[in-house]
């Protein structure tokens, strides 16, 4: 059975889509974004930067907001029970959530509730900027409270050894690596940087 990973973040715009693209390229994975709100679509970015096979979204919404609010603006009702990972194929699968862990899908259901139902290995993307210790440790507590298997933390941004060390020591979570800013952001440059900063064996 091929491996499936869930990629989420400590908050919005942490860089998890670029990370997901790099991961897809590294391990040859397919990509699925269950709910897309706003444009451009993250699946288009991942296809361009990671060369991944794209599985269509369950819901593609027009408003750039939380899925709950975007669905309300579009006159759409999201049914969280209909969000189930696609069948396993020959290649691994990377699933990317929307925004942070606590983003609402409906008035009653958060994205983390869906992750808790899936019980799939989760990768937490954490920015290295100011405030990351608090945001990351709180996110890890929420993940563990729901018994979601946490593969590790992927840091994104400039080198910040002190913050990274505190997070790893306090949480005991595996440090998967750090993705620095890639400029210009192209498929080739992302693949090169990703291969240097992350180990393929960690996702085997």
Active-site pick, 33, 119, 170, 196: 33
In a domain, 158, yes or no: yes
* Tens of pLDDT, residues 28-69: 999 999 999 988 899 999 999 999 999 999 999 989 998 999
Q: Which domain range does residue 126 map to? A: 6-203
In a domain, 175, yes or no: yes
In a domain, 1, yes or no: no
* Tens of pLDDT, residues 116-171: 999 999 999 999 998 999 999 999 999 999 999 999 999 999 999 999 999 999 99
* Tens of pLDDT, residues 65-84: 989 999 999 999 999 999 99
Percent of the chain with pLDDT over 90: 89
In a domain, 106, yes or no: yes
In a domain, 27, yes or no: yes
The domain that contains 86 carries what CATH number?
3.40.50.300
In a domain, 137, yes or no: yes
Position 1 pLDDT exceeds 80: no
Local confidence band at 2 (pLDDT 50, 70, 90 cut-offs) = low
Number of domains into which the chain is organized: 1
In a domain, 128, yes or no: yes
Q: pTM for the complete prediction?
A: 0.95
16 is an active site residue: no
Long-range contacts of 131-140 (CB under 8 A, 24+ apart): 132/10, 132/160, 132/163, 132/167, 133/163, 133/166, 133/167, 133/170, 135/10, 135/11, 136/10, 136/167, 136/171, 137/167, 137/170, 137/171, 139/10, 139/100, 139/101, 140/171, 140/173
């Amino acid at each position: 059975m091929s491996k499936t990973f869930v990629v989420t973040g400590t908050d919005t715009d942490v860089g998890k889509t670029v990370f997901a693209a790099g991961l897809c390229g590294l391990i040859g994975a397919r990509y699925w974004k269950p709910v897309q709100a706003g444009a451009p679509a993250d699946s288009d970015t991942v296809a361009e930067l990671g060369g991944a096979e794209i599985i269509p979204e369950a819901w593609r919404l027009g408003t750039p907001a939380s899925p709950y609010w975007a669905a309300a603006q579009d006159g759409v009702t999201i049914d969280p029970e209909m969000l189930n990972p696609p069948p396993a194929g020959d290649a691994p699968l990377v699933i990317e959530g929307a925004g942070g862990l606590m983003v609402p899908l409906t008035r009653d259901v958060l994205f983390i509730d869906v992750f808790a139902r899936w019980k799939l290995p989760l990768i937490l993307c954490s920015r290295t900027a100011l405030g990351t210790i608090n945001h990351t440790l709180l996110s890890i507590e929420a993940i563990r409270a729901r018994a979601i298997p946490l593969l590790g933390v992927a840091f994104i941004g400039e080198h910040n050894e002190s913050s990274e060390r505190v997070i790893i020591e306090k949480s005991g979570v595996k440090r998967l690596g750090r993705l620095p800013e890639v400029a210009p952001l192209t498929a080739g440059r992302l693949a090169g940087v990703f291969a240097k900063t992350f180990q393929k064996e960690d996702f085997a």
